[in-house]
């Protein structure tokens, strides 16, 4: 087997192993949550006999190992289980929610990724001058402020005072694309500000690291403009670390939207998860946790694969 195929196989195997270990952590974490789902369903006036019968019906009295193996077997077959509080199939309930979350993350990525790369290139072009310092100061400020605070500030200014966008981000299938984009304008702006700083600074650092190379000095001696050197020589050779940080932030856009969705009452997976955590609906919490973990680990695996394929020493071994 060639070195590159061996590395790819190792990364995929490591990703599957991590997903298995995460499933154990998620299951163990959910079963020790305080509260009683049977009590939540039947209410405070339920009799002990009714609570005991419901726990037995829901399988809550089964040994933890038996419950885990049954749950894991269902996951492998694509069965996410049934919500305890509503009796609905979790997969069908999550389908539309996941689509909404991916829709929000997609538009945040469409704006933040090109903007972060452009600002990173601009900061390198004007290194240690006022554009670089201004970009660094603004991005550091944005990354230091919690997203819920950014969300409430934007909501007050843009939605309440200026009335440019709605404060509640509600979307449905009957809305046109323009109406949906107007509805999600504020949560997209918050997510963009949150991930932009990290991607921009890592892009700047990666390109500056390449700028120390001998071939960059040769290009400068040939009289090439700084913009051409950065765009045609430095940027292509710093793709691997940039792709890594972009994938990490794309994973955050999907996994880390819980706070933003709650702030703007957005009908995505984050809101769905929070609603069912309060009800102690364990199967729903477990299913959401596994989907978030699969997305995060999957995007990191893609970043590793791109880094391997972008390495010329692996693609062209001696």
Distance CA 169, CA 181 (A): 10
46 within domain boundaries: yes
Contact between 125 and 230 under an 8 Å Cβ cutoff? The reply is yes
287 with 273, same domain: the answer is: no
Strand partners, 89: 82
**Residue (of 197, 103, 92) closest to 147 by Cα position:** 197
What is the CATH classification number for the domain harbouring 174?
A: 1.10.3720.10
309 within domain boundaries: yes
58 with 165, same domain: the answer is: no
219 with 105, same domain: the answer is: yes
269 within domain boundaries: yes
Distance CA 297, CA 14 (A): 10
Give residue 91's region: left, alpha or beta (phi > 0; psi -120 to 50).
Answer: alpha
Q: What is the full per-residue pLDDT of the chain (318 aa) written as tens digits?
A: 677 778 778 888 888 899 999 999 988 887 776 666 676 667 667 777 777 777 777 677 778 888 888 888 888 888 888 887 777 788 888 888 888 888 998 999 899 889 988 888 888 888 888 888 898 888 888 778 888 888 899 899 988 888 888 888 888 888 888 888 989 999 999 988 888 888 888 888 888 888 877 777 777 777 777 777 777 777 777 777 787 788 888 888 877 788 888 889 888 888 888 888 777 778 888 888 888 888 888 888 887 777 777 666 655 555
Residue 21 has what pLDDT?
93
257 with 122, same domain: the answer is: yes
Distance CA 128, CA 132 (A): 6
237 with 104, same domain: the answer is: yes
3-class SS of residue 86: coil
| 315 Cα distance to chain centroid | 30
**Residue (of 178, 195, 211) closest to 115 by Cα position:** 195
234 within domain boundaries: yes
267 with 293, same domain: the answer is: no
Instruction: Return the ∠ at Cα 27 (arms to 23 and 28), rounded to 5°.
Output: 115
90 within domain boundaries: no
Which domain covers residue 312, as residue numbers? 1-85+283-318
Contacts of residue 281, Cβ cutoff 8 Å, sequence gap at least 6: 37, 40, 83, 84, 85
For 285, phi and psi rounded to 5 degrees?
Answer: -60, -45
68 with 113, same domain: the answer is: no
202 with 152, same domain: the answer is: yes
- Domains held by the chain: number: 2
**Residue (of 62, 9, 116, 82) closest to 282 by Cα position:** 82
3-class SS of residue 164: coil
Contact between 275 and 285 under an 8 Å Cβ cutoff? The reply is no
Question: What DSSP assignment string belongs to 204-254?
Answer: HHHHHHHTTSHHHHHHHHTT--HHHIIIIIITGGGHHHHHHHHHHHHHHHH
CA distances from residue 279 to 54, 96, 282 in whole angstroms, order as listed: 15, 21, 9
């Amino acid at each position: 087997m060639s070195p590159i195929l061996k590395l790819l196989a190792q990364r995929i195997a490591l990703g599957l192993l991590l997903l298995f270990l995460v499933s154990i952590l998620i299951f163990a974490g959910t079963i020790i949550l305080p509260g009683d789902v049977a009590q939540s369903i039947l209410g405070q006036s339920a009799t002990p006999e009714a609570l005991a019968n419901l726990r037995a019906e829901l399988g809550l009295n089964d040994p933890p190992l038996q419950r885990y193996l049954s749950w894991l077997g269902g996951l492998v077959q694509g069965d996410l289980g049934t919500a305890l509080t509503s009796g609905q199939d979790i997969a069908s309930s999550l389908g539309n929610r996941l689509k909404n979350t991916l829709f929000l993350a997609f538009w945040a990525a469409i704006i933040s990724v090109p903007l972060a790369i452009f600002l990173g290139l601009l900061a390198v072009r004007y290194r240690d001058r006022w554009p670089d310092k201004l970009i660094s100061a603004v991005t550091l400020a944005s990354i230091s402020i919690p997203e819920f605070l950014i969300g409430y500030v934007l909501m007050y200014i843009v939605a309440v005072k200026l009335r440019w966008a709605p404060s509640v981000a509600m979307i449905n299938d009957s809305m046109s694309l323009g109406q949906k984009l107007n509805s999600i304008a504020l949560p997209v702006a918050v997510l963009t500000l949150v991930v932009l700083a990290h991607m921009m600074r890592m892009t700047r650092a990666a390109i500056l690291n390449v700028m120390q190379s001998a071939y960059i000095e040769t290009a400068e001696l040939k009289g090439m403009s700084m913009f051409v050197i950065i765009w045609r020589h430095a940027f292509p050779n710093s793709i691997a670390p940039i792709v890594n940080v972009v994938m990490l932030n794309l994973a955050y856009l999907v996994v880390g939207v819980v706070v933003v969705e709650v702030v703007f009452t957005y009908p995505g997976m984050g809101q769905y998860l929070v609603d069912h955590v309060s009800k102690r609906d364990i199967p729903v919490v477990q299913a959401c946790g596994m989907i978030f973990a699969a997305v995060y680990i999957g995007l990191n695996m893609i970043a590793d694969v791109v880094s391997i394929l972008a390495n010329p020493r692996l693609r062209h071994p001696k």
